[in-house]
Amino acid sequence: MRAGTEFHRREFLLATAAAATLGFVGRARAAFPEKDIFFIVPYAPGGGFDTHVRAIAPALERMLPRMVNVVPLNVPGGAGSRAANQLARAKPDGTTIGVFNIPGMFDLQQEGKADYDLTRFTWIGSLGRDHYALAVGYDSPVKTVDDLRALSRTRPVKFTSTGPSSTAYAATLIAGEVLGIRTQLITGYKGSNDYVLGAVRGDGDAVITVLPTLRRMEEGKALRIIATFEAHGSLPGVPDAKVLAQPDLALIILERLVAGPPNMPNEIRDTLSSALIKAMADPAVVAWAKQADVELQPETAAQAAQILADQEKFFQKWKRYLTSG
């Protein structure tokens, strides 16, 4: 059965390719994808970004106009900058794409430590986004944001977090500023699970991270969410950005944006973009997302580029608070 459909598809492709050759589009481009596609994950295997890519890659293979392998490639190190450097140097032929932690990645670029420019990348789409929330230990005497403010009048409030140049780090500092809480970050945890565990353990007073993770921790009676940074809160009884009267909180978002190297031809970008959108609607991927409590929100290439521009603006606005690291 399967071989049969593939046969038909190949026939169809050959026909398309031939048609394209007759036209004015170069043959190599029309035939994209010809080779395996490497999907760069800027972190080690096992984390959130890695799992997203590994869950979506098989569906992406099926949705491309021609069956090639989509191979997840972990390039950890330097808070994502190694991965960005690698992508910046890759050929813009569609065989190398990557997913990035936005807006945290802007940090290194701001400091002039990067040999890449995120705004020059070819933005293809998104693997989804997450809102942030603020949580404290389940049995903590702190029950509300006001309690945290009161605590911050006596001493800086300790938050567990990863190091500089991650969105979580930026989110914690910006949220502290917006909410009027003096913050001191315990940094160096290896990933989001690690610093969330630190918060459960009581290493610090509170933690700010993506909402799905915190929801799981609250279900397990390990943490208590005392505020969500959504415009319209999804948790009953928990104040959101509107209730807290801080609309800027709702702009603190973790974007998992997908990019190719600078100057990628539009046809290749659009082929990848539409395949990615279709892959995210694939039943297997949707089922995975439901089980894993992940919000998949596909974006077109133009939307992804717009999100990046907005995030850069947002990051610029708050930049001066992020230099404490």
Partner 1 sequence: MLDLWLSGIQHLLQVRELLFLMLGMAIGLIFGAIPGLGGSCALALLMPLTYGLEPITALALSGGVMGAVPMGGSITAILLNTPGTAPNAATCLDGYPLAKQGKAGLAIGAAASANSIGGIIGTISVLAVLPIAKDLVLAFGPPEFFVLAVLGLITVATASRGKLMRGLITGALGLMISFVGYNDVVGGERFTLGIGYLWDGVHLVPALIGLFAVAEMINLSVKGGSVSGDARNVEITSMWSGVLETFRHWPTVLRGSLIGTVVGAIPGVGGVVASFLSYSMTVQASKNPESFGKGNIQGVIAPEAAINAKDGSALIPTLAFGIPGGAEMAVFLGILVLHGLQPGPMILTQNQTEIYGLIWALTASCLLASFIGLLVVRPLAMITLVDSEILVPAVICVALVGSYAVDAEIENVVVTAIFGLLGYLMIRFDYPRLTVVIAMVLGGTAERNYYQSMIMGDGHWSIFVSRPIAAVLVAGIVALLVWPALRGLARPLTRRFTLTRRGGG
Tell me which residues touch partner 1 (CB under 8 A).
44-47, 50-51, 54-55, 57-58, 73-74, 76-79, 81-82, 85-86, 107, 113, 158, 162-165, 184-190, 193-194, 196-198, 200-204, 216-217, 219-222, 287-288, 291-293, 325
CB of residue 284 vs partner 1: minimum separation in angstroms? 8
Give 68 or 73: the residue with its C-beta nearer to partner 1. 73
Question: Which residue type occupies 152?
Answer: S
To 10 degrees, the CA torsion angle through 115, 120, 126, 129? 60
CB of residue 89 vs partner 1: minimum separation in angstroms? 9
Give 193 or 303: the residue with its C-beta nearer to partner 1. 193
The Cα 271–Cα 276 span in angstroms is: 9
The Cα 87–Cα 325 span in angstroms is: 26
Write the DSSP symbol of residue 199.
Answer: H
The Cα 121–Cα 42 span in angstroms is: 15
- Is there a contact between 75 and 42 (Cβ–Cβ < 8 Å)? yes
CB of residue 94 vs partner 1: minimum separation in angstroms? 19
The Cα 33–Cα 66 span in angstroms is: 6
CB of residue 15 vs partner 1: minimum separation in angstroms? 31
Half-sphere exposure in the Cβ direction for 240 (13 Å, CA): 13
Give 13 or 44: the residue with its C-beta nearer to partner 1. 44
CB of residue 171 vs partner 1: minimum separation in angstroms? 16
Give 50 or 93: the residue with its C-beta nearer to partner 1. 50
Give 269 or 288: the residue with its C-beta nearer to partner 1. 288
CB of residue 221 vs partner 1: minimum separation in angstroms? 7
The Cα 216–Cα 220 span in angstroms is: 6
Give 20 or 44: the residue with its C-beta nearer to partner 1. 44
Structure tokens at 212: 């799905």
Distances, alpha carbon 319 to alpha carbons 110, 206, 256, 279, 306, in Å = 9, 23, 20, 35, 20
